[in-house]
Structure 1
Amino acid sequence: MAHSGQRYPSEADARAAIERFEELGVGALPVYNVGSEYEWRGPTEAVEVGRPSITGLLKELTRGRRHRDFLAQFDTRIIVSGSRGKSSTVRRLDDVFNRRGYDTFTKITGNYPVIIRNGRVHPIERQGPRTTLYENVNVIREFGPRIGEFDSKAVGIFENQAISEYTTRIVNQRFIQPDVILMTNVRQDHNDTLGKRRQDIARSLSRSVPAGTHVVNGEQHPALHEYMREEIEARGGTIEQVEVPARHRGLLGAETVHAVNTALQAVGETPVPAAELNAFIEQIQPEWVHLEGGRLFNAAEVNDVESTEMVRRSLVDGENILPFVYLRFDRRGRTASFADYIDLLAERDCIDHVHVGGADTGTFARNVDVSVTVHEDDEDAATVLKELLTADQPVMLMGNTVDAFMRAMEDAIADRVVAYRDRERADRTRRSDLPSMQF
């Protein structure tokens, strides 16, 4: 939402505007645009991470007084783990606790990593493209002494960024020691580090749970939940499955939204009202983005094949799509999953061509049973987007999103969205200026 800086002629007018804002904003997910919006409050300090060695992390965890003091300041610690929807779930939890007056410290490690401290956002500046486990040492050094500055109860909410069973367990058991772990779901991702099958991934995630920890499990597959229950209870933990009501079953992200309420109840908090949950779920359902030249949806942010297919099914109605799959050299398991997925789409006559960019494009092209257009690393994102839109099919971006090329692709998409809306606005103005016909 945007609002002008106008003043109101009366208090009644101002209150009416507030009520209207609250009506429109119910269930809205906060979006943090880090940078210029904080200039009026003074500069926002970024947190540089990635420089310490792994030995520094181990020393901090094993005998570091700062780390023990850091953890002791929180009345409640929540970790969000799992495959998909971690960052958005962390943001929702942070929003709820912050609005309820808690002293909140939140770490998001997804596409745009940030620290959120009582609503104020601090970007995480990594010294490379990868998430590193020892970046948390910098977080403790920077923010640890500040937690005790507030009188209200302190809540720590952390996204577990680890991608192997060992590192996930290190974050859970040693770095955070959570009261509750919210497991969003189990999808085929990080297959090369967590396991080839969903059951293997479920086992890796379950074995990372510390003894005595309660798990809120958003995964809806009954067999996987039962498997995870046996693994977690064998280690002295407890687990409950998130209940998704019939009206929301099958909707994208419904399990993560309802998991917020289940986690709140697990720590003795009042759940979010049903109207707010309904608004959350309605807002995250995918819709085609209309831009100059056609339609597009960026599904690269979900980056696993099950979630990508859920997005595709909710968008299409019997029409073929044109996939653009972006690959990363450090996600070869994900690359293999998407090669199989593209073959499945071709076999079911859902696609007749695919574009691919990033790393290992030649290997990908040789191993899929559909015609492929390969884009080189040095190609301009805006030029690639223009070529995709000439196919007269709706475009879906898939695979990976954390890369300089995909950042440039997002900018190119935004430019075309603006051009499309400007043209639509001009057309409406032109039609309204036409003289009315009298008969």
Structure 2
Amino acid sequence: MLFLYVIVLLCCVGLWIAGIVEQRRHFASLEQIPTRVLVNGIRGKSSITRLCAGALRGGDLVTVAKTTGTAARFIHPDGTEEPIYRKFGLSNIVEQIGIVRRAATYRPDALVIECMAVMPALQEINQEKLIRSTIGVLCNVREDHLEEMGPTLDDVARSLSRSMPVGGVCVTAEKDRLHILQEEADKRNCRLIAVDPETVTDAELRGFSWFTFKENVAIALAVAELLGVERQTAMQGMWDAPPDPGVLSVERYVTPEGKQLRFANVFAANDPESTLMNVQQLEDLGAIRRPLNVVINCRPDRVERNGQMGAIVPDLAAETVFLIGHPTKSARDAIPAAFTGRVVDLGGDRRDPEEVTESILAELGPSSSMVAIGNIHGQGELFLECLAGLPLDESEDPFEGVPQGDGLDQETMQIVLVRPQVALARPPEPEPYSWVAPLETTHSFHIPNQRELARQFAATHGRSDGPGRSDSDGRPDSQSAPADPRLSYDQPQSTRNP
């Protein structure tokens, strides 16, 4: 018995030592990245991460980024990206250790990384142990994840504040609970910067080939300013940045019966406030029109959110509401009795998605608009795949006959141009013993092998981990660093509208 106790004790000591070694190794990787930006909040984190990274790249800063939203991506300093492979499809904040280690091989000026923790305690661990950000971003406080961070929005604000850097800077676009964020920032000796979305002009928004909000752009500009990047240079970098796969988009289809359909995928905005804001902006821009049809996808593990989506149906003023997924009763019961439109229940987790899609299309008029809200997973993903199989409608100008309404500048219509289907593409299967699968998109080109890239950057920067290292910077005595090591990158391909 004593022998077993000794074995257990030795195992515990071994694990303790291994943990210390791993932690010190991780902190050493963090020290190689002078600026670390942690993006947190409820809605828009992935888009803000891409905007911040694009703005810093525009300022000639070597920047690595990682998103976690609709599709997790590792974004290289040249703007190309790869999907992040996860065993069994499960996400865990421990993956941030590998991301930091991989980012450090580039010796970057900055790392922009999206927070993937939800539980308040994990958010603090993510900040204090994994990222140790120097600049924090807290984009907004919305009604989501109330089970973990709630039950009130004030509680959500305090929970999100646990990711603020102690003694650092935090940028936010939140207005309603700014006083709570300021209180939490003062506790951490953190300087809170509140941005004004109205400082972003309509002309600057017109440079984007994808839909975004002034709040997101204002946050990215503030981060760029903190790092010494000029405004116009930062805007150019953001214009050239590829959009997130889950970005808000409007597609125009033709159904098998010849009906014209404008479809807006608003699944990414899966809280009531963001959903209403997205739909209202699309309507103001003329991207969708009345009569409006709404598809609500339900999930068994998001019953509360299903009810929230049902409760806002009168605010959407929908003509017909289609309920898909399971359990649809949670959304149907939340629809107020005052709603005068039609409710079509097509729920069921085992229902054929093609049958569901055909039933929905059969109920539409000859020219209709439809928005999909709620949760994308489950029947929502299958519904999008079925719609993607429909032919695109190219019979008319997308903006022909758009009402002027509210004095909007007609030129801003270009931000909702039809885009290629990115969100529906599944990442290729990873190679054996590789945690990242290569990806080529319309916004990127071939990505070299990771070892090849690391060797190239080490040689370019004159840094080496092997023999021949002669000074504190890792440069051999016979060599000096190039005048601009960033010239070793290929220029990213522009995605800005002509």
TM-score norm. by structure 1 comes to 0.71
Structure 1 residue 309: Cα displacement: 0.4
Say whether 1:238 aligns with 2:191.
yes
Say whether 1:414 aligns with 2:388.
yes
SS state of the match for residue 357, structure 2? Answer: helix
Say whether 1:323 aligns with 2:294.
yes
The one-letter code matched in structure 2 to 1:359 is: H
Match of residue 231, structure 2, among 271, 277, 281: 271
Structure 2 partner of 1:340: 311
Match of residue 155, structure 2, among 184, 200, 217: 200
Match of residue 309, structure 1, among 276, 287, 294: 276
Q: What is the rounded CA distance, in whole Å, between the counterparts of 2:236 and 2:47 in structure 1?
A: 15
Q: What is the rounded CA distance, in whole Å, between the counterparts of 2:199 and 2:220 in structure 1?
A: 17
Say whether 1:377 aligns with 2:328.
no
SS state of the match for residue 310, structure 1? Answer: helix
Say whether 1:398 aligns with 2:373.
yes
Structure 2 partner of 1:214: 169
**Cα contact 1:81–1:159 (8 A) shared by 2:** yes
**Cα contact 1:303–1:400 (8 A) shared by 2:** yes
**Cα contact 1:79–1:157 (8 A) shared by 2:** yes
Structure 1 residue 66: Cα displacement: 2.3
Structure 1 partner of 2:265: 298
Say whether 1:189 aligns with 2:144.
yes
Alignment of 1:40-439 (within 5 A): 64-119=23-78, 120-140=80-100, 143=102, 147-148=104-105, 153-219=108-174, 221=175, 223-245=176-198, 253-273=213-233, 276=236, 288-292=250-254, 293=259, 294-316=261-283, 319-342=290-313, 344-345=314-315, 350-369=317-336, 371-390=343-362, 391-392=364-365, 393-401=368-376, 403=377, 405-418=379-392, 420-421=393-394
**Structure 2, unpaired ranges of 5+:** 1-14, 206-210, 398-498
**Cα contact 1:207–1:232 (8 A) shared by 2:** no
The one-letter code matched in structure 2 to 1:291 is: Y
Query: After alignment, is 196-205 or 303-312 more displaced?
Result: 196-205
Structure 1 residue 205: Cα displacement: 1.1
**Cα contact 2:199–2:218 (8 A) shared by 1:** no
SS state of the match for residue 84, structure 2? Answer: strand
- Counting matched residue pairs gives 355
Structure 1 partner of 2:208: none
Structure 2 partner of 1:47: none
The one-letter code matched in structure 2 to 1:123 is: P
Structure 1 residue 275: Cα displacement: 6.6
Distance 1:398 1:133, change over 3 A: same
Distance 1:365 1:165, change over 3 A: same
Distance 1:245 1:380, change over 3 A: same
SS state of the match for residue 296, structure 1? Answer: strand
Q: What is the rounded CA distance, in whole Å, between the counterparts of 2:63 and 2:16 in structure 1?
A: 24
Structure 1 residue 381: Cα displacement: 3.3
SS state of the match for residue 89, structure 1? Answer: helix
Q: What is the rounded CA distance, in whole Å, between the counterparts of 1:287 and 1:136 in structure 2?
A: 29
Distance 1:380 1:79, change over 3 A: same
Cα deviations by residue, 1:252-289 (Å, 9 ceiling, x for unpaired): 62111111110111233333459759979xx9996743
Cα deviations by residue, 1:96-141 (Å, 9 ceiling, x for unpaired): 3334443322111111111112233221122345532222244356
**Structure 1, unpaired ranges of 5+:** 1-55, 426-439
The one-letter code matched in structure 1 to 2:253 is: L
Q: What is the rounded CA distance, in whole Å, between the counterparts of 1:84 and 1:131 in structure 2?
A: 18
Distance 1:380 1:303, change over 3 A: same
Structure 2 partner of 1:53: none
Cα deviations by residue, 1:8-31 (Å, 9 ceiling, x for unpaired): xxxxxxxxxxxxxxxxxxxxxxxx
Q: What is the rounded CA distance, in whole Å, between the counterparts of 1:202 and 1:225 in structure 2?
A: 9
**Cα contact 1:365–1:372 (8 A) shared by 2:** no
**Cα contact 1:115–1:121 (8 A) shared by 2:** yes
**Cα contact 1:115–1:124 (8 A) shared by 2:** yes
Query: After alignment, is 88-97 or 329-338 more displaced?
Result: 329-338
Q: What is the rounded CA distance, in whole Å, between the counterparts of 2:54 and 2:299 in structure 1?
A: 32
Structure 1 residue 299: Cα displacement: 0.5
Query: After alignment, is 241-250 or 179-188 more displaced?
Result: 241-250
Cα deviations by residue, 1:68-110 (Å, 9 ceiling, x for unpaired): 1221110110011111111111112222333444332211111
Structure 2 partner of 1:3: none
Q: What is the rounded CA distance, in whole Å, between the counterparts of 1:188 and 1:154 in structure 2?
A: 35
SS state of the match for residue 79, structure 1? Answer: strand
Cα deviations by residue, 1:371-398 (Å, 9 ceiling, x for unpaired): 3413222334344333323322421100
Give me the identity figure in percent.
23
Q: What is the rounded CA distance, in whole Å, between the counterparts of 1:200 and 1:298 in structure 2?
A: 30
The one-letter code matched in structure 1 to 2:315 is: L
SS state of the match for residue 416, structure 1? Answer: coil
Q: What is the rounded CA distance, in whole Å, between the counterparts of 1:104 and 1:411 in structure 2?
A: 34
TM-score norm. by structure 2 comes to 0.63
Distance 1:247 1:239, change over 3 A: closer
Structure 1 residue 239: Cα displacement: 0.2
SS state of the match for residue 301, structure 1? Answer: coil
Q: What is the rounded CA distance, in whole Å, between the counterparts of 1:300 and 1:209 in structure 2?
A: 28
Q: What is the rounded CA distance, in whole Å, between the counterparts of 1:386 and 1:154 in structure 2?
A: 51
Cα deviations by residue, 1:135-182 (Å, 9 ceiling, x for unpaired): 2244356x26xx3455xx531110001122222221112110001011
RCO greater where, 1 or 2, for CA within 8 Å and sep 6 or more?
Answer: 2
